[in-house]
Amino acid sequence: MTPPPSLPQFTAAGLPALQRRTSAVLVVSQILGGLGVAIGIALAPMLAAEVSGSEALSGLAPTASVVGTALLSLPLAALMTSRGRRSGLVLAYLIGALGGGLVVLATVLPSFPLLLLGMAAFGAGSLAGLQARFAAADLVGPERRGRAISTVVWATTIGSVLGPNISAPASRLFRGTPVPEAAGPFLCSAAVFLLAGLVVALALRPDPLLTARALAPEGLAGPAGPPKRPLRVGIDAVRESPMARLALVTVTVSHTAMVSIMVMTPVDLGRHGAGLQLIGLVISGHIAGMYAFSPVMGWLADRFGRLAVIGLAVGLLSLAALLAGTAGPRHGQTAVGLFVLGLGWSAGMIAGSALLTDAVPQSAQAAVQGLSDLTMNAAAGVGGAAAGVIVAQWGYGLLNAIGAALLLPVAALALRRDLRRPGVAGG
């Protein structure tokens, strides 16, 4: 790969300043991207019901977004492998903006298949946010990698909190126009995605991934040879590293358990008499647990090691399942359980992401990170869909028990002797 023209003049002496500037750009883009996702996704089920004419199909809109995020993971990983983070992130935001426009067009026509296609493309905005956490880790050493990732994850808090509150005013902006009010927020989301992409295109220079490769000591960037498909590169790298396998399982299981429990909590609360305001507060507390304390998780992962924080994630997610699954009509206990669920997700996502980056050669990192996003979103999509069936047939308590049982492979991998040897990274 030929480095960009700006890289030969760059040396390791300027790395700290470049790290800070890269982190600042990613934080700004993450705030914008998180805002764009949250503005639109809040009204997606309502819009799906309106366009399809059936409430039973309302859940397909957010599901299509998750599917789109998963399907786009590997193509964007391939682009980042060859062209760097900036190209991949900009393209992801552009696809997300196109998706927002397709959703609006689908409501005007109306066309439910087009709506689902638009929501799938809209998922690229979420994917940009997921990949930004890895971009933050490109230029930092293992001793600060957890904190670098957690800073970008924390920035998501701002957009996630503001977005749903902007949805209603955004709808009113289009009153009296051909654009249906419920679709208006998606035009706003598209505009915000375009702005996020512009920030990345103009300010994420030099590219962090290409710079890290250019500065890597000879022989550490990975083996030479004919190019492989990103999926094959990712699978091979994970297969060769026990640490990478643990990291991939941690990220996938943490995300799947969180999504499966979270999506059905409003239903369980409603069955026990909770109103919309209380349900909103519980979900807000859950989101705060996911993002607001991520810098703490990043510091813990750097200070005490990735394995310790993965163990913390298993403990927190198990406790959350116990609290939420046994709460019944005790809404306060459910709220605490969902908050702890968010904390467990944060610990697993940050420690797992840092460990995944630690555990593979630099040349394989983008491919492995794309494989991680594909796996976690595909598993979460299946988990979210299955959660509704489980709750309908056997109840919310069993769903939480299954969520806790999913954590067993993580605990088993983390306790393996070959991961506990002195000198093994992340221990």
> pLDDT tens digit string along 195-224?
999 999 999 999 999 998 888 765 444 444
Q: What is the pLDDT of residue 160?
A: 75
At residue 63 the predicted structure's pLDDT band, cuts being 50, 70 and 90, is confident
Tell me the pLDDT of the chain averaged across its residues.
87
Residue 46: is its pLDDT beyond 60? Answer: yes
Look at 53-57, 130-134, 329-333 and tell me which has the smallest mean pLDDT: 53-57
* pLDDT above 70: percentage of residues in the chain: 91
Residue 110: is its pLDDT beyond 80? Answer: yes
Of 221, 227, 200, 253, give the one whose Cα is nearest residue 372: 253
Q: What is the pLDDT of residue 266?
A: 83
Task: Give start and end residues of each alpha helix (H) in 327-407.
Answer: 331-359, 362-394, 396-405
How far is residue 230's CA from residue 135's CA, in Å, rounded to a whole number? 17
Residue 385: is its pLDDT beyond 60? Answer: yes
Stretch 129-136: mean pLDDT, rounded?
Answer: 91
How far is residue 134's CA from residue 138's CA, in Å, rounded to a whole number? 7
Of 27, 205, 201, give the one whose Cα is nearest residue 129: 27
Q: Give the 3-state secondary structure percentages of the chain, helix then strand then coil, rounded to 5.
A: 80, 0, 20
At residue 230 the predicted structure's pLDDT band, cuts being 50, 70 and 90, is confident
With a CB cutoff of 8 Å and minimum separation 6, the contacts of 353 are 133, 134, 137, 149, 247, 251, 369, 372
Which segment, 37-41, 248-252, 285-289, 391-395, is predicted with the most confidence on average?
248-252
At residue 13 the predicted structure's pLDDT band, cuts being 50, 70 and 90, is low
Q: What is the pLDDT of residue 422?
A: 41
- The answer to whether the Cα torsion of 24, 26, 32, 34 is positive or negative is negative
pTM as predicted: 0.85
